[in-house]
Chains A and B, each alone.
Chain A
Amino acid sequence: MSAIYAMWLREVKRYLRSRVQIVASLAQPMMYLLILGFGLSSVFQQAGKGNYIQFVAPGVVGMSILFSSIFSGVGLLFDRQFGFLKETLVAPVPRHYIMIGRTLGSATNALMQGTLVLSVCVLAGFRPVDLWQVPVALLFMMLIAIVFAALGTAMGSVLKDMQGFQIIMNFVVMPIFFLSGALFPLTNLPGALAIATSLDPLSYGIDGLRASLIAVSHFGVAKDAGVLLVAAVAFVSLGTHLFAKIEI
């Protein structure tokens, strides 16, 4: 247990010490929120879908959690590069403790980043329809963070160097983001796209956020939470398995 805590604390310390990075990673979500948000707002309004800022803010929060949790998980690659990974791999602690500690740390960092983005969204004019539902939104944010931190750790365990980072970005992170419905409603999509979006775990995360923040849901909260839980268990198991097999 103390090993899990030590690894968790290490991740959180590293995040809180990288102030520049915390601020810098606010830039991208803000562009989606402010530029895309205001840019598409009148078209969205004319289509009878209401306020686009209200619609896109939960998506932007989900996106920032996706990015920071996956990158934090893939931070494993930096540890491989700088050598600290070896130190943890030979420690007399079951490797799944190390993996779980890391993943929870990454998830915590992503949750903090997501909360920060949500606060900035509120500053920019976003209003949750029911304040009592905000804790539910935080729960969904936590689930999203755990799912993708575990996925990040799993991928970091398989990759050997930083070149793999680009591949992850282009073939994993971006598709997950674009297919999640963060930027568009999931209703009335063409068949293939509807199937693809329903296979993306983040779709359920963002749908859960919309359900709790703006009272709009496509799948229903129960299904959202269920799918995320299953994905979390699956990715944590996969990550544990791959992490235990790492050779240096």
Chain B
Amino acid sequence: MIRVHDLVKTFGDFRAVDQISFSVEPGEIFAFLGPNGAGKTTTIKILTTLMQPTSGSLTLDGLNPATHQHEVRHRFGIVFQDPSLDGELTAYENMDIHGVLYGVPSRVRSERIERLLKLFELWDRRDAFAKTFSGGMKRRLEIARGFLHTPKILFLDEPTLGLDPQSRNQLWSHVKNVNETDGVTVFLTTHYMDEAEKVAHRIAIIDHGKIVAQGTPAELKEQTKTESLEDAFLALTGNTIRDETANAGADQMRQFTQMWRR
């Protein structure tokens, strides 16, 4: 469903993604794990047509996101890592405009919006402006929105960030559900190893823009001779904390090069 070969993305001298290759089979739940600034979000942005790769080849359902942007956009849904709601619209309106943009017919749309807002316990607040929501509620709304249409591939970029355990459970059981009943392929990133271990069929670990290991959770534990995925992760990526300044530097560089590219 997703094939990536020797993908590279550079911002100036900084190699955010450095020759990575992996593939995700149809119907699979694939977790992409790595420390802050490892290149996870950059990879997702390239796969979801928001960014052009520097080099390498990739296909999504047989199509190249760099050249067949429109066709590719028909095939995936995404829950972004950072906020993507319109705060000046109500919760319901945020869902509704998404439904229109993704071509969900209006009758199905209102039914599904109601079901999803109830599932993520936002129905009572449906007419409140999104800007008045707490962080967790905004997150829940974005997740509910992500499930409004049924894509072939669902990207979840750190979807559980800032969520309480109840909502997390709700989210993962829903993810498993659409994966099993609708055959949706899921590509996710998270910092919670227990979640990855519970839901993912296969895992790739990325660090400093390179993939350092790939396999099922059991294979990764065996490979590193560790007891838990968390230990395996630490064994593979080391104990050093990636400080925020390194990250901010990358961000600045990104903005700077983007500003001068045109």
* A interface with B by C-beta (< 8 Å): 2-3, 5-7, 10, 13-14, 17-18, 79, 82-84, 86-94, 158, 160-161, 247-248
B255 at the interface (CB under 8 A from A): yes
Contacting residues, chain B, for A93 (C-beta < 8 A): 73, 101, 103
Q: Across the interface, do A2 and B100 meet the contact criterion of CB distance under 8 Å?
A: yes
Query: What is the minimal beta-carbon distance from B82 to any residue of chain A, in angstroms?
Result: 6
B200 at the interface (CB under 8 A from A): no
Given contacts A82-B83, A91-B101, A92-B73, 16 further A-B contacts (CB under 8 A): A3-B101, A10-B97, A14-B86, A17-B88, A79-B86, A83-B80, A83-B82, A86-B84, A87-B84, A90-B76, A93-B101, A158-B262, A160-B258, A247-B258, A248-B50, A248-B51
Query: What is the minimal beta-carbon distance from A137 to any residue of chain B, in angstroms?
Result: 31
Q: How far is the CA of A161 from the CA of B102 in the complex (A)?
A: 28
Residues of B125-162 whose CB lies within 8 A of A: none
Q: Across the interface, do A13 and B89 meet the contact criterion of CB distance under 8 Å?
A: yes
Q: How far is the CA of A94 from the CA of B73 in the complex (A)?
A: 10
Q: Across the interface, do B89 and A92 meet the contact criterion of CB distance under 8 Å?
A: no
Q: Mark B245-259, 1 if CB is under 8 A from A, else 0.
A: 000000000010011
Tell whether A161 pairs with B255 under 8 Å between CB atoms, given A10-B97, A247-B50: yes
Chain A residue at minimal CB-CB distance from B100: A6
Residues of B67-101 whose CB lies within 8 A of A: 70, 73-74, 76, 78, 80, 82-89, 93, 97-98, 100-101
Q: How far is the CA of A17 from the CA of B88 in the complex (A)?
A: 8
Q: How far is the CA of A33 from the CA of B83 in the complex (A)?
A: 42
Tell whether A14 pairs with B88 under 8 Å between CB atoms, given A2-B100, A6-B100, A90-B73: yes
Q: Mark B97-130, 1 if CB is under 8 A from A, else 0.
A: 1101111000000000000000000000000000
B48 at the interface (CB under 8 A from A): yes
